Amino acid sequence: MSVIFDESGRPFIILREQDKKQRLKGYDAQKSNILASTSIAKLLRTSLGPRGMDKMLVSGDGDVTVTNDGATILDQMEVQHQVAKLLVDLSQSQDDEIGDGTTGVVVLAGALLEHALTLLDKGIHPTRISDGFEKACDIGVEELARISDKLEFNKDNLEPLVKTAQTTITSKIINKHKEKFADICVKAVLDVADLERKDVNLDLIKIQGKTGGKLEDSCLVDGIVVDKDMSHPQMQKVVKDAKIAILTCPFEPPKPKTKNTIVIEDKEQYEKLYRQEQEYFVNQVKQCKDSGANLVICQWGFDDEANHLLLQNELPAVRWVGGVEIELIAIATGGRIVPRFEELDAAKLGSAGLVREVTFGTVKDRMLFIENCANTKAVTIFVRGGNKMIIEEAKRAIHDALCVVRNLIRDNRIVYGGGSAEIACSLRIGEEADKISSVEQYALRAFADALDAVPIALAENSGLNSIDHLSKIKSEQLKTKNPRIGVDAVGSGNSDMRTQGVFETLIGKQQQLRLATQVVKMILKIDDCIVTGSDQF
């Protein structure tokens, strides 16, 4: 920031380290902010839609991520620019709230800003622009609700849910097996959902990946998969109709928490101590046996002695299972977590139809599958894939799909994808714009134009002539009054998104509009950037 001089030529320092501060004011500030944001949006544009491309991101320590999930890309890019960071937050918010549409929201925000810039050039006051955008956003949200359809589904008819999940998965790397994955996701969510309260706790769905095998080997396990094996190699590998004791105490002599020392003065006492320790082990194993358990899962370790005893008593056991997994196992099997051996009884045991240790390929990796749990409220999606990158990307895709299904359970209204909803909103806003007599009219028009950015990007990414295609769709929508006509990205020759089965959740779309508008509003409202430190603006 430049130093100011008074009448007699003396500088006065008003701010600390004034000369090091940089300041951008007025139009320059707005322009630079908008340019920074649009460049982020341009970067994501190519990742939009079923034909969108992936990005490869290499982190500082050489980890490679390949993804086309907007939130992940932005997160890993480590954006420096303050205003551009707002867009990163934006996609993160969409991810947190909806889980899907993280790319679309950034593309939309970028387009809005681009159009705002032309309005600024015309000399329209930024707050008038944001007022207009807000009005437009409200109209858009209403229009979305109007054209939305209720998706009826129940336990026996999951088809609509699967279709929506498929739309999400289509743009991801696992789209070759989208039917399978969509099916897995829907079943998983319904297993853990509380349909009465419309609440789904996604923590109860465990996504476990394992390198090797093919993507289509992935499956839904109605139970839990843990990356552990039996504590002793000679224990039996398969337990049918397992009664599981879930313990959070180690197979060791109990230790009081109060500091203690045992004073041993002679040989007899020592032997007594030894005998007592032995007794503990025998008792502990006996207690497990007596309760009727035929499998022990323990959060802590076993003494070698205890391990041996367990083997002798033909009681298979698993040790060092993490707290979260213990909890999931308890929920899945309907068992209770038992904090000490004295409290074990038959009522507290969990049950599973089958517990087996599975070996993969030629490697010695083993995993424990706890399956066929009755009335399970916790499930695992087991993902296989050629390499770690694919598995990670598949996990992200599954997460997105899970979120979408969850949203449908919360609110079962849908709109149609392929840019059709955006076009419908755009048409409607354009119509409303003409009714407004003030400056906001321009802002509304700009908003309508910006909405076209999504179908344009979709068409572009699909290798179509975007402008040509868009104008065709637009006129067709107007002519037929059918808001379901969108970009035919997969080249099936059918542009009605209902028959193509491209569904998106209504709340997801509404959220995109609202979030994008709000962030744009925030960026437009800044007319002064004051920067301390070395960051270049």
Q: Which amino acids are annotated catalytic? A: 69, 102-103, 400
Q: Which of 4, 53, 58, 478 binds another protein (CB under 8 A)?
A: 4
Beta strands in 417-502 (DSSP E): none
Q: Per rule CB under 8 A, is residue 535 in the interface with another protein? A: yes
Nearer to another protein, 127 or 359 (CB): 127
Q: Which is nearer to another protein, 24 or 147 (CB)?
A: 24
Amino acid identity of residue 203, one-letter, is D
Identify the residue among 60, 256, 361, 493 touching another protein (CB under 8 A).
256
Instruction: Give least dist CB 468 to another protein, A.
Output: 34
φ, ψ at 189 (rounded to 5°)? -65, -45
Q: How many residues does the chain have?
A: 537
What distance in Å separates the CA atoms of residue 226 and residue 224, rounded to the nearest whole number? 6
In the window 436-465, what residues touch another protein (CB under 8 A)? 438
Of 42, 57, 138, 191, which lies in the binding site for another protein, with binding defined by CB under 8 A?
Answer: 138
According to the binding rule CB under 8 A, does residue 254 interact with another protein? Answer: yes
Q: In sequence order, what are the beta bridge partners of 238?
A: 356
Q: Is there binding between residue 154 and another protein (CB under 8 A)?
A: no
CB 128 within 8 A of CB 440: yes
Residues 5-64 that bind another protein (CB under 8 A): 6-10, 12-17, 29, 33
C-alpha 480/C-alpha 484 separation (Å) is 10
> Can you list the alpha helix ranges (DSSP code H) found in 481-505?
497-500
Residues 377 to 406: which contact another protein by CB under 8 A? none
Nearer to another protein, 203 or 241 (CB): 203
Residue 2 interacts with another protein (CB under 8 A): yes or no: no
The residue whose two tokens read 């996504």 is 207
Beta strands 238-247; 295-298: pairing state: parallel
Nearer to another protein, 138 or 365 (CB): 138
Of 31, 42, 128, 472, the one binding another protein by CB under 8 A: 128
Q: Does residue 258 belong to the site contacting another protein (CB under 8 A)?
A: yes
Q: Which of 48, 200, 224, 454 binds another protein (CB under 8 A)?
A: 200
- By C-beta, is 92 or 482 nearer to another protein? 92
Q: Is 201 in the site for another protein (CB under 8 A)?
A: yes
d(CA 363, CA 210): 12
Q: Which is nearer to another protein, 6 or 156 (CB)?
A: 6
285 belongs to the binding site for another protein (CB under 8 A): no
If the CB atoms of residues 69 and 95 are measured against another protein, the closer one turns out to be 95
Q: Which of 149, 183, 327, 411 binds another protein (CB under 8 A)?
A: 327
Q: Does 260 bind another protein (CB under 8 A)?
A: yes
267 binds another protein (CB under 8 A): no
CB 296 within 8 A of CB 319: no
Minimum distance from CB of 117 to another protein (Å)? 16
- The two beta strands, 224-226 and 366-371, are antiparallel
- Taking each helix axis from N to C terminus, what angle separates 26-45 and 82-97, rounded to the nearest 10 degrees? 50
- Rounded CA separation 520/272 (Å): 77
Which one among 157, 362, 492, 534 touches another protein, defined by CB under 8 A? 534
Q: Which long-range contacts does 277-282 make (Cβ < 8 Å, 24+ apart)?
A: 277/253, 278/305, 280/252, 280/253, 280/254, 281/251, 281/305, 281/306, 281/309, 282/309
Closest separation in Å from C-beta 249 to another protein? 9
Give the x-and-dash track for 213-232 against another protein (CB under 8 A): --------------------
Query: Which range binds another protein by CB under 8 A, 153-161, 211-219, 265-273, 468-476?
Result: 265-273
All residues at 6 or more sequence positions from 480 whose CB lies less than 8 Å from its CB, including other chains: none
**Alpha-carbon distance 92 to 113, whole Å?**
19
Q: Please identify which residue in 185, 188, 204, 224 interacts with another protein, judged by CB under 8 A.
A: 204
**Residue 86 or 450 with smaller CB distance to another protein:** 86
Residue among 18 and 482 whose Cβ is closer to another protein: 18
- Please tell me whether residue 156 binds another protein under the rule CB under 8 A: no
Q: Please report the DSSP string for 132-145 in residue order.
A: HHHHHHHHHHHHHH
What is the 3-state secondary structure of 91-104? HHHHHHHCCCCHHH
List phi, psi (to 5°) of 533.
90, -170
Determine which residue in the list 103, 299, 412, 461 makes contact with another protein, applying CB under 8 A: 299
Q: Between 361 and 533, whose beta carbon lies closer to another protein?
A: 533
Determine, following the binding rule CB under 8 A, whether residue 136 of this chain makes contact with another protein.
no
499-528 positions binding another protein, by CB under 8 A: 510-511, 514-515, 518-519, 521-522, 525-528
Residue 333 touching another protein (CB under 8 A): no
- Write the secondary structure of 286-336 as one string of H (helix), E (strand) and C (coil): HHHHHCCCCEEEECCCECHHHHHHHHHCCCCEECCCCHHHHHHHHHHHCCC
207 lies in the site for another protein, by CB under 8 A: no
Q: Per-residue x/- mask for another protein, residues 53 to 92, rule CB under 8 A?
A: -----------------------------xx-xx--xx-x
* CB crowding 168-181: b at 16 or more within 10 Å, else e: bbbbbbbbebbebb
Classify strands 55-58 and 64-67 as parallel, antiparallel or unpaired: antiparallel
In whole angstroms, the minimum distance from the beta carbon of 409 to another protein comes to 11
Q: Which stretch binds another protein (CB under 8 A): 155-163, 215-223, 263-271, 390-398?
A: 263-271
Distance CA 188, CA 379 (A): 6
- 435 forms part of the interface with another protein (CB under 8 A): no
